[in-house]
Structure 1
Amino acid sequence: MSRLRLLSAAALLAVAANSHATSFIVTTDSIVGGLKASSDATSDVSSSFRDDKIVRAARDDAASFVASEGAIRGVKLESALDHIRQQTPQLNATDAQLAQAILTI
Structure 2
Amino acid sequence: MSRLRLLSAAALFAVAANASATSFIVTTDAVVNALKATSDATTNVISSSFKDDKIVLAARDDAASFVATEGNIRGVKLESALDHIRHKAPQLNASDAQLAQAILTI
SS in 2 for 1:17: helix
Equivalent residue, structure 1, for 2:73: 72
Equivalent residue, structure 1, for 2:57: 56
- TM-score, normalised to structure 2, is 0.82
Post-superposition offset of 1:4: 4.0
SS in 2 for 1:92: coil
- TM-score, normalised to structure 1, is 0.82
Q: Percent identity between the aligned chains?
A: 59
Cα offsets for 1:54-94 (capped at 9, x unmatched): 21222222222223332222222111101111111221211
Q: Residues 14, 68 of structure 1: CA spacing in aligned structure 2 closer, same or farther, 3 A cutoff?
A: closer
SS in 2 for 1:93: coil
Instruction: Give 5+ residue unaligned stretches, structure 1.
Output: none
Instruction: Give 5+ residue unaligned stretches, structure 2.
Output: none
Tell me how far apart the structure 2 counterparts of residues 8 and 70 of structure 1 sit (CA, whole Å): 49
Runs of 4+ in 1 over 4 A off after TM superposition: none
